[in-house]
């Protein structure tokens, strides 16, 4: 079993829909990162969380430390949100190594 | 502030050769990590350096090595190249202060696309 699991693996939605991408982890962490990679593009850091909730524009990230779970939400989704969303955690018991999820490929149709 | 700079952007090598890739982090960042990304695959962690010391290493053969200099610039080297080494190699930097566990955002470079023929 992977230490960081993302779901769904692929997600296709219509423009305007509310999107949720999940990340579950099984290790102790000091922080969780959400990143975005557009096709053929670079990787951009969206959020870094150690507790609670953060919001940036239409993006919201939450983390529940007790349940070892984080969600990334996109409100009023737009085709330009189409990208791969990646979750990564800093593993406290492994010299703070970054452990990466496999990514969620999101396609927003106009 | 300049972003993370990776050089070269593209590289073509033949099997058996060796290659060195460079990563200049954002000024003040002391942590540099390296990743391999192949088509359809997620990020595969290679290694992470903090203040010139390798802190973590992924599951790659010994042909893959790296180092970090006192100015935080990092290089990775792949010796005896194989066709399967063709990939996008990405580096990321972050400011971790004096404690690597202290979280800070990751900043990625645009990568070096290596093609082995």
**What tens digit of pLDDT does each residue of A24-68 get?**
999 999 899 999 998 877 899 999 999 999 999 999 999 999 999
Task: Say yes or no for a CB contact (<8 Å) between A100 and B107.
Answer: no
Contacts of B111 in chain A (CB under 8 A): 42
- DSSP annotation of A47 reads E
Q: What is the mean pLDDT of residues B11-21?
A: 97
The distance in angstroms from the start CA to the end CA of chain A is 36
Q: What is the mean pLDDT of residues A91-97?
A: 82
Bridge partners (DSSP) of residue A85 are A36, A104
Residue with tokens 């194989």: B82
**Phi, psi (deg, nearest 5) at residue B84:** -70, -5
CA angle at residue B78 from B76 to B79, to 5 degrees? 140
Contacts of B33 in chain A (CB under 8 A): 98
- Within an 8 Å CB–CB cutoff, is residue A34 touching chain B? no
| CA–CA separation, B20 and B76 (whole Å) | 6
Task: Say yes or no for a CB contact (<8 Å) between A43 and B90.
Answer: yes
Which tens digit of pLDDT belongs to each residue from B53-81?
998 899 999 999 999 999 999 999 999 99
| Region for residue A103 given its phi and psi (left: phi exceeds 0; alpha: psi -120 to 50; beta: otherwise) | left
Task: Say yes or no for a CB contact (<8 Å) between B106 and A101.
Answer: no
Min CA distance, B34 vs chain A (Å)?
11
Tokens read off for A106: 């999101």
Higher pLDDT pick, A21 / B39 = A21
- DSSP annotation of B26 reads P
pLDDT, position B99 = 59
Indicate if the pLDDT at residue A92 is higher than 80: yes
- Residue A98 has, within 13 A of its CA and on its CB side, a CA count of 34
């Amino acid at each position: 079993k992977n230490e960081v699991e993302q779901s769904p693996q692929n997600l296709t939605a219509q423009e305007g829909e509310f999107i949720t991408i999940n990340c579950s982890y099984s290790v102790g962490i000091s922080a969780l990162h959400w990143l975005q990679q557009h096709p053929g593009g670079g990787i951009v850091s969206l959020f870094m969380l150690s507790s609670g909730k953060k919001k940036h524009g239409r993006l919201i990230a939450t983390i529940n430390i007790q349940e070892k779970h984080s969600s990334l939400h996109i409100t009023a989704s737009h085709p330009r949100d189409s990208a791969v969303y990646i979750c990564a955690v800093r593993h406290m018991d492994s010299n703070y190594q970054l452990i990466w999820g496999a990514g969620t490929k999101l396609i927003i149709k106009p | 502030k300049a972003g993370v700079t990776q050089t070269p952007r593209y590289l073509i090598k033949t099997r058996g050769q060796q290659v060195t890739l460079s990563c200049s982090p954002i000024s003040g960042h002391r942590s540099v990590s390296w990743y391999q990304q192949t088509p359809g695959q997620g990020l595969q962690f290679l290694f992470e350096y903090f203040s010139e010391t390798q802190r973590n290493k992924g599951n790659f053969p010994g042909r893959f090595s790296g180092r970090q200099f006192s100015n935080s610039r990092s290089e990775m080297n792949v010796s005896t190249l194989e066709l399967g080494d063709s990939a996008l190699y990405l580096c990321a930097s972050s400011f971790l202060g004096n404690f690597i566990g202290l979280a800070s955002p990751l900043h990625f470079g645009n990568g070096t696309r290596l093609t082995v023929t």
